[in-house]
């Protein structure tokens, strides 16, 4: 029921478009660096017309953005589409995509995170296409730390691959790409690792699905966010649902998670994975408390502080992949199988 795009190879064409926010002129040099990074590794990069961030919160009208994304996903010469970054209102594309044409097409890798999960999640749920939750184009030049893979390596995989907790993360701030657009190394100044709520460990398998809480929660209860139906389709193997908070305060995240619970997102889950976040608390109510308040009664293992959120580094996850997650002693491993 899951269709995987062909493994990405040097020489393949990668499309670049901004389905949500575009790139303002002062940051265009960073976009050029990222495109150059891909080209230096042998990829043919095709830039779309919907890229500018100088005229508002989106790169172009919803119709133009949808048309360009449709065209790239349907073009058999384009093997992957990666946006510069996320944004705010990619939700205005989900009812403008040509779902019938896409259903008849061979799958293409769609790569990104944050607001792009608003598009990636429906593509996996409705089409059965695997999508790749990983660093976006502007972050692509960064070298992953030991234990994690680059998204291009994940998109190229032909066999099961393992990733491990990196043990390090960036505690705050971002590189100033306007002053220097060239960084390729993360400054990972803090230490931390995956933790199971309540302590102990786990060893669990399931079908992976998820995204950014602030954006995908708006799809619950619509034809584009029926994770409950996806779970029923994979009930024999179960789901591993991953979610991460960008920057909303804890009480807002708590409300969103309660809504996902009521929409049945966890009915067939075997475990829940929560990405590390720098999103703020609401007074004394923390982000971890928000998760436990909304989901703690489900009697499911919850793994906190996985590198799948807005805090670098990034652990690429494939929506639709079969995964084996282990937290035991000092081991923190996630193995994904594309098949």
Angle at 159 between CA 7 and CA 234, to 5 degrees: 90
Distance of CA 138 to the CA centre of its chain: 14
Q: Is the pLDDT of residue 10 over 90?
A: yes
pLDDT digits (tens, 9 = 90+) for 113-123: 999 999 999 99
Task: Using a cut of 0.95, tell me whether the model's pTM lies above it.
Answer: yes
- Residue 324 confidence (pLDDT): 98
Q: Which two tokens stand for residue 250?
A: 């804890």
Q: Is the pLDDT of residue 228 over 90?
A: yes
Report the b/e string of 208-228 with b at 16+ CB within 10 A: bbbbbbbbbbbbbeeebbbbb
- Residue 55 confidence (pLDDT): 85
- Residue 172 confidence (pLDDT): 83
For the residues 307-334, what does the mean pLDDT come to?
97
pLDDT bin (cut points 50, 70, 90) of residue 194 is very high
Nearest to 30 by CA among 167, 174, 178, 147: 178
For the residues 198-215, what does the mean pLDDT come to?
97
- Residue 251 confidence (pLDDT): 98
Q: Do 115 and 212 meet the contact criterion of CB atoms below 8 Å apart?
A: yes
For the residues 229-244, what does the mean pLDDT come to?
97
Q: Is the pLDDT of residue 210 over 90?
A: yes
Question: How many C-beta neighbours within 10 Å does residue 77 have?
Answer: 10
Report the distance separating Cα 205 and Cα 273, nearest Å: 12
pLDDT bin (cut points 50, 70, 90) of residue 339 is confident
**Across all residues in the chain, what is the average pLDDT?**
97
For the residues 134-162, what does the mean pLDDT come to?
97
Q: Is the pLDDT of residue 46 over 90?
A: yes
Alpha helices per DSSP H over 15-83: 28-40, 62-74
> 185 exposed, middle or buried (CB, 10 Å; 0-12, 13-18, 19+)?
exposed
Report the distance separating Cα 224 and Cα 216, nearest Å: 9
Q: Is the pLDDT of residue 9 over 90?
A: yes
Q: Is the pLDDT of residue 161 over 90?
A: yes
Give the E-state strand segments of 66-129 in sequence order. Answer: 78-81, 109-112
Q: Is the pLDDT of residue 261 over 90?
A: yes
pLDDT digits (tens, 9 = 90+) for 237-257: 999 999 999 999 999 999 999
- Residue 173 confidence (pLDDT): 81
How crowded is the C-beta side of 128, counted as CA atoms within 13 Å? 11
Nearest to 187 by CA among 312, 314, 315: 312
pLDDT bin (cut points 50, 70, 90) of residue 64 is very high
For the residues 285-314, what does the mean pLDDT come to?
97
Nearest to 287 by CA among 327, 240, 252: 252
Cα separations in angstroms, 136 against 80, 140, 297? 12, 6, 34
């Amino acid at each position: 029921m899951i269709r995987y795009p062909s493994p990405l190879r040097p020489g393949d064409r990668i499309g670049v478009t901004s389905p949500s926010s575009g790139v303002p002129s002062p940051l265009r040099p960073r976009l050029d660096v990222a495109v150059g990074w891909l080209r230096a590794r042998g990829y043919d990069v095709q830039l779309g017309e919907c890229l500018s961030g100088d005229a508002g919160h989106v790169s172009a009208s919803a119709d133009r953005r949808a048309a360009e994304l449709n065209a790239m996903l349907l073009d058999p010469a384009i093997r992957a589409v990666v946006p510069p970054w996320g944004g705010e209102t990619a939700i205005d594309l989900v009812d403008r995509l040509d779902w019938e044409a896409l259903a008849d097409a061979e799958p293409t890798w769609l790569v990104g995170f944050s607001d792009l999960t608003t598009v990636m999640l429906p593509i996996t749920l409705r089409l059965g296409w695997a999508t790749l939750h990983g660093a976006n184009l502007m972050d692509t030049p960064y070298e992953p730390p030991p234990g994690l893979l680059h998204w291009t390596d994940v998109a190229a995989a032909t066999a099961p691959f393992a990733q491990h907790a990196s043990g390090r993360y960036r505690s705050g701030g971002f590189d100033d790409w306007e002053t220097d657009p060239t960084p390729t190394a993360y400054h990972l100044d803090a230490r931390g690792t995956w933790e199971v709520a309540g302590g102990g460990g786990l060893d669990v398998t399931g079908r992976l699905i998820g995204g950014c809480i602030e954006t995908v929660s708006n799809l619950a209860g619509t034809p584009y966010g029926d994770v409950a139906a996806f779970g029923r389709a994979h009930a024999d193997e179960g789901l591993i649902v991953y979610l991460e908070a960008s920057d909303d305060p804890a009480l807002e995240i708590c409300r969103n998670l309660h809504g996902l619970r009521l929409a049945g997102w966890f009915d067939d889950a075997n475990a829940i994975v929560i990405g590390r976040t720098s999103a703020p608390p609401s007074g004394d109510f923390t982000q971890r408390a928000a998760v436990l308040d909304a989901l703690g009664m489900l009697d499911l293992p919850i793994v906190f502080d996985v590198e799948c959120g807005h805090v670098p580094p990034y652990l690429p996850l494939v929506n639709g992949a079969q995964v084996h997650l282990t937290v035991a002693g000092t081991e923190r491993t996630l193995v994904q199988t594309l098949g």
